[in-house]
Amino acid sequence: MQSISELLNLGGRAAIVTGGAKGIGFGIAYRLAEAGASVLIADINPEVGGKAAKELSDAGFKSDFIKTDVSEETEVKAAVDFAERTFGSVDIMVNNAGIYPMIPAMKMAVEDFKKIMAVNVRSAFMFTKAVAEVMIKQKRGGKIINITSIDALHPSSVGLAVYDASKHALWGFTKNMALELAPHKIWVNAIAPGGIQTPGVEAMQSQIKMPAGADPKAMIEAFMAKIPMHRMGEPDEIGKVVLF
């Protein structure tokens, strides 16, 4: 039986984290790298992504960055190929990239719907397929973690209907892929964070229009009261769960 320290030692393993430049993604990338994994940050923002990879490297971890539009199949394949060439293997895949524009469904254009589904769902399908092919070839199993949302279970706000639908889809995809890839010793799991304090969430909060006469402080207190610990989560806390 392996000890906890052995189980959490990822030396010799390589991971890809989509949307790993900041927020939850960077929290995940940091913890994986700290545990010894070589980490490829695949993100659409080259400036922020490059800085994130450098921060990991400066901390003594093995990390690299590749600019990736996760909604484009050619770029997904390029990222997986780059990770395999650079690190020699792909053992861990974290499908974290996601977008969540607050647009009521009745006002949403079809193109916006397609974009949300492409980034939040189709990207996970494409990365999972490409990475699983590598893992099967390697014959040593692997781990695929999909970052869904509490909104996959409980709607949190008007204006997120399509985002919620995308997270429901990712939840179902995760459960079925766990069955499909189990014979190859590839584990597929999902993590559904609630409110996490990230730049993206702060931007989304700024889009919320307060009802006339509403007290912003009272609304925040009411939201926090629904959380058992009465606070927002931190990206690093999700990183720890992924590592586990």
Among 115, 143, 163, 226, the active-site one is: 163
DSSP code of 186? E
Residues 138 and 187: beta-carbon distance below 8 Å = no
Query: What is the reported pLDDT for 236?
Result: 74
Residue 196, token pair as written in the block = 């996490």
State yes or no: is 163 an active-site residue. Answer: yes
Q: Domains, the chain, ranges and CATH?
A: 4-196+234-243 (3.40.50.720)
CA distance 234 to 186: 28
For residue range 51-76, list pLDDT tens digits in order. Answer: 999 999 999 999 999 999 999 999 99
Query: What is the reported pLDDT for 210?
Result: 47
CA distance 143 to 190: 11
Task: For residue 108, count other CB atoms closer than 10 A to its CB.
Answer: 15
Q: How confident is the model at residue 235 (pLDDT cuts 50, 70, 90)?
A: confident
CA distance 208 to 26: 25
Q: How confident is the model at residue 237 (pLDDT cuts 50, 70, 90)?
A: confident
Q: Are strands 92-95 and 63-67 parallel, antiparallel or unpaired?
A: unpaired
Average the pLDDT over 224-232 and give the result: 63
Instruction: Please choose, from the candidates 104, 109, 165, 127, the residue with its C-alpha nearest in 3D space to the C-alpha of residue 19.
Output: 127
pTM reported for the whole predicted model: 0.87
Residues 27 and 39: beta-carbon distance below 8 Å = no
Among 62, 167, 209, 240, the active-site one is: 167
Residue 7, token pair as written in the block = 């189980």
Q: Could you give the count of Cα atoms lying within 13 Å of 244 in the half-sphere of its Cβ? A: 8
Percent of the chain with pLDDT over 90: 68
Residues 242 and 94: beta-carbon distance below 8 Å = yes
Query: What is the reported pLDDT for 240?
Result: 86
pLDDT at 188 > cutoff 60: yes
For residue range 98-155, list pLDDT tens digits in order. Answer: 998 889 999 999 999 999 999 999 999 999 999 999 999 999 999 999 999 988 888 8
pLDDT at 221 > cutoff 80: no
CA distance 198 to 96: 13
Percent of the chain with pLDDT over 70: 81
Q: How confident is the model at residue 241 (pLDDT cuts 50, 70, 90)?
A: confident
Question: Which of the two residues, 180 and 216, has the higher pLDDT score?
Answer: 180
3-class SS of residue 3: coil
Q: How confident is the model at residue 200 (pLDDT cuts 50, 70, 90)?
A: low
State yes or no: is 185 an active-site residue. Answer: no
